[in-house]
Amino acid sequence: MKYAFFRCKSLLRVTMPATITEIEEGAFYGCDSLRYIRLSRNLVSIGDYAFYDCASLQAVFLPPTITRIDDGAFNGCTSLRCLNVPEAIDHIGIDVIWGCDRLLTTANYKFDEEEDGIVDPINSDEVNEWLRQRYGNLPFHQACFSISITTQMIVQGIERAMEVDDQQMTALHILCANPHVTRDAIRAYLQMSPEAADQEDSEGMTPFQYLSRNDIAFFEEDRSVSSLMALWYSCMP
């Protein structure tokens, strides 16, 4: 339904059932308290301005079924740090990540002011290509965006564990932000590459700090810092 949760100021987290295949236009428009979203595994498309001005949204892990992201889908998501674009994507609209300054670190918008005063971005195509290619040479980072992450995927990619992206994130940062992460995947990573636990991103954030902000699927217990720290250290070698 279009604008289904329009400006639901108290909405903090969303878990979508697998029956959802489309997020319609403006569905979460202005939900500025929304911090966590676990998307449907069968999602195909995200409509115009679906998450417009969701200023608290920190990470979006798109399933491989996604083929279409329409105009301004994440426009104004000023807290967004993690966003992947699956290989199957065949359409990305204009201004999809306009205003996502914490995500858009290497591709900057430029503007062209027309005679009638309308200001238009002139490099949406450039930004979208950056989104498509961003993890082309970082396959382990891309693997950690998977909604079906497994310990085998971690073991196979661990030799590239300390590579970083343009935000100085290791794959462990992304893994710890993944709402589908498993305890075994975290354990496999830390036991094979414990030094990654101390790596800071461009904002000085460690992987554990990403984990502490995550709406972890398997961790339904007390989410206090002490409980999360106990989980973290139980995964260390």
Which DSSP symbol is given to 203? T
Q: Which helix (H) or strand (E) holds 124?
A: helix 124-133
Q: Which residue has the tokens 């200001």?
A: 119
Q: Tell me if residue 60 falls in helix, strand or coil.
A: strand
Q: Tell me if residue 177 falls in helix, strand or coil.
A: helix
Band (pLDDT 50/70/90 cuts) for residue 113 is low
Q: Which of 73, 67, 122 is nearest to 96 (CA)?
A: 73
d(CA 211, CA 179): 9
Residue 201, pLDDT > 70, answer yes
Band (pLDDT 50/70/90 cuts) for residue 216 is confident
> In the predicted model, what is the mean pLDDT of the chain?
91
Residue 117, pLDDT > 70, answer no
Domains of the chain and any CATH numbers: 1-134 (3.80.10.10), 139-234 (1.25.40.20)
Band (pLDDT 50/70/90 cuts) for residue 114 is low
d(CA 127, CA 140): 22
This prediction has a pTM of: 0.91
d(CA 43, CA 17): 10
Give residue-wise pLDDT tens across range 15-57. Answer: 999 999 999 999 999 999 999 999 999 999 999 999 999 999 9
Residue 112, pLDDT > 90, answer no
Q: What is the pLDDT of residue 123?
A: 73
CB count, 10 Å around CB of 236?
Answer: 11
Q: What is the pLDDT of residue 57?
A: 96
Q: What is the pLDDT of residue 214?
A: 87
Q: Say which amino acid occupies 221.
A: E
Q: Which of 51, 89, 87, 54 is nearest to 71 (CA)?
A: 51
